[in-house]
Chains A and B, each alone.
Chain A
Amino acid sequence: MVVEINNLVKKFGDLLALDNVSFSIKEGEIFGLLGPNGAGKTTAINAMLGLTKSDSGEIKIFGKNLKEYELAIKKDIGIVPQDIAVFEDLTAYENVKFFGKLYGLKDNLLKERIEEALNFTGLWDRRKEYPGKYSGGMKRRLNIACAIVHKPKLIIMDEPTVGIDPQSRNHILQSVKELNRTGSTVIYTSHYMEEIEELCTNIIIMDHGRIIAKGTKDELKSLIAFEEKVRIDLVSVNFTLVDNIKSIKGVKEVAVDGNSLKIASAKGSRNLGQIIDAISAADSEIVSVNVEQPTLEGVFLTMTGRTLRD
C-alpha cells in the first residue's frame, strides 16, 4: 500500500473536520476523493502532508509512519494545490527550478527534469515568461509542472481543474492519466464527479468529514441501482400504450412527459424488448431510446439528499 490511513480524527474547535476516516491506496492507482466543498477532502490531504496535525489516528505513507519519517516521505510526494501556487515574479523555468532544488535536484539532473516537466505540461516554449502573462489554464499547468519536477511516486492533486476552460481541463486530465501510466500513484480530489468517473479506479465519497461510501466506480453505482430507468421519445403517446407498458412484467412506473415516456423497471427485469414491441404494436413511432445509467452524482444524491454542488 502506498497510503494507509487509520481512524483519522481532526477537529477545528467544535467542527469535526475528519471523523474517524480510514482508507488505503494501492500503488499505481488513481484514487478519487469526491465530495462537496467543506467535505474534508483538503483537510485529509493536509494531514497526509503533515500540514495539519491530526487529533488521533495513524497515517502511513510508503509503509512509513508520517510522524516519524515526515521529511523522508515528503521527498517522494508531489502536491498540486487547489489554489495556483506559483511565484508571479519568477519565470516558469525559475519556478520549476526553485521547487526542483527544494526536492534536492541539482546540476544536470535538475536541468533535465525541468525540461521534462515543462515539456510534459506544454510550457517549454514559454518557459522564459512570467506567469502573469499566462492564461488560467497555463497557470494550472505550471502548477502541475512544479509538482512533478522531482518525479514523485505519489502525486496529490487537489481540485486541479477549478476555474479553467474545457481545453485546459482536458489537457490536465490527459496529463493525470499519463503520469499514472508512467508509474505515479495519483490521489485526485474534485467535486466534479465526471472527472472522478473518468480517471479514478477506486473512489471514496466524503461528506461532513466522514466517508459515506468507498469502492470502485461500479461498486458505488451498484449501491443505488435498485431500478433501471429508460426514457423513450415517441412521435405520439396514447393512454392505451401506457396501460400496455404498465402491464409488462417488471415495470414499476410509467410517467408521461409530453411525447416522452419515463419507464422505471425492477433491477434485472430485462424487459426493454417487450416495451419496444408494445410500442410497435400500438403503431407509435420511436424517435429515441435513452437508458439512464446510475452516476456518482446519483450515488451522492441518494446517500446525502444533496447534490455535489449544493
Chain B
Amino acid sequence: MKIIHLFKVFPVAVFLIVLYSCKNEVKEEIITNQISTEAVSQSQKGQAFIEDESSTPNVLQIAIKSPDHTTLVAAVQAANLENVLVNAGPLMVFAPTNAAFKALPAGTVEDLLKPENKEKLAAILKHHVTAGNYDKNFLKNLVKQMIQMLL
C-alpha cells in the first residue's frame, strides 16, 4: 500500500495495512480494469480535468501515471471521485496498490465496479482519504502509540 501525500509521494509504509485493510478474508484474484464508459463520460468535468501543463501534478495525476495503482484509478473513476481527490484539501490518500486489491476475496472488486454499487464503492474509497497535513514521522509515531495501546 502506498501513501500519496497531496504534495509529495511517500514510499511504501507496510504497517499501515494493519490500520486500513479491510476485515474481509484475503484471497487472490485478478482484477480487470473494466469501467463503465457511462461513468467516465459523466465524470469528465470539473477541477480534476483542467488542462494544466504548468501546475505540479496532483494526487490523481500521480496515481494515473503509477503502474501499481491502475485498479485504484479505475475505482476512483467508476465512483466519480476525481474532483474530490484534487480538492484544495489538505488530503492524505492511503492508496491501495493493485496487489492489495488482488488480495480481496474473488469478485469483490468486479462487484464494486458495477454501476449500481457506485455509492458503496465511493464510501469505501472515501475511507482511504483523510483530511489533514500529516508527515511520515507523525504517522510513524501514531502507529507506535497505537501498537503500544494494543499491547
Indicate whether A and B interact: no
